[in-house]
Amino acid sequence: MGNRVYIFDTTLRDGEQSPGASLTIDEKLIVARQLERLGVDVIEAGFPISSEGDFKAVNMIAKEIKDSIVCGLSRALPKDIDVCWEAVKEAENPRIHTFIATSNIHMQKKLQKKPDEVIEKAVKAVKRAKRYCSDVEFSLEDATRTDYDFMCRVVRETIRAGATVINIPDTVGYAIPKEFANRIKYLFDNVAELDEVILSVHCHDDLGNAVSNSLIAVEMGARQVECCVNGIGERAGNAALEEVVMNLVTRKDYFGLEVGINTKEIYRTSRMVSELTGIEVQRNKAIVGKNAFAHESGIHQHGVISSKETYEIMKPEDIGWEGENLVIGKHSGRHAIKLILEKEGYRVSKEQLDMITKHVKALADKQKTIEKVDLLAIANDVIGRLSENQARMKLKEFNVVSGSGVTPTASVRLQIGDEEKIGSGIGVGPVDALSNAILSIIGSDITLEEYNLKSVTGGANALAKVTVKVRDREGNVVSATGVDEDIMKASASAIIEGLNKIFSYGKG
Quote the DSSP letter at residue 504: T
Nearer to ligand KIV, 33 or 183 (CB): 183
Q: What is the 3-state secondary structure (H, E, C) of 390-448?
A: CCCEEEEEEEEECCCCCCCEEEEEEEECCEEEEEEEECCCHHHHHHHHHHHHHCCCCEE
CB-based burial label for 67 (10 Å; 0-12, 13-18, 19+): middle
For residue 223, the partner it binds in Zn ion, ligand KIV, none, with Cβ less than 5 to 8 A by kind, is none
In order, the DSSP letters of 212-234 are HHHHHHHHTT--EEEEBGGG--S
Q: Counting contacts by CB under 6 A, is residue 99 touching ligand KIV?
A: yes
For residue 139, the partner it binds in ligand KIV, Zn ion, none, with Cβ less than 5 to 8 A by kind, is ligand KIV
Residue from 9, 14, 80, 135 in contact with ligand KIV (CB under 6 A): 14
Nearer to ligand KIV, 72 or 169 (CB): 169
Minimal distance in Å, beta carbon 12 to ligand KIV? Answer: 13
Distance CA 132, CA 317 (A): 43
Q: What is the CA radius of gyration of the chain?
A: 24
- With contacts defined by CB under 5 A, name the span among 13-21, 125-133, 310-318, 497-505 that binds Zn ion: 13-21
Residue from 169, 278, 384, 482 in contact with ligand KIV (CB under 6 A): 169
Nearer to ligand KIV, 86 or 206 (CB): 206
- Report the candidate in 187, 173, 188, 163 with the shortest Cα–Cα distance to residue 142: 173
Q: Counting contacts by CB under 5 A, is residue 14 touching Zn ion?
A: yes
Residues between 128 and 167 that touch ligand KIV (CB under 6 A) = 139, 141, 167
Nearer to ligand KIV, 93 or 102 (CB): 102
Distance CA 476, CA 219 (A): 39
Q: What is the total count of residues that contact ligand KIV (CB under 6 A)?
A: 9
Nearer to ligand KIV, 167 or 214 (CB): 167
Distance CA 279, CA 275 (A): 7
Q: Counting contacts by CB under 6 A, is residue 202 touching ligand KIV?
A: yes
For residue 44, the partner it binds in ligand KIV, Zn ion, none, with Cβ less than 5 to 8 A by kind, is none
Q: Counting contacts by CB under 6 A, is residue 11 touching ligand KIV?
A: no
CA dihedral 427, 430, 436, 440 (to 10 degrees): 110
Residues that bind ligand KIV (CB under 6 A): 14, 99, 139, 141, 167, 169, 171, 202, 204
Residues that bind Zn ion (CB under 5 A): 14
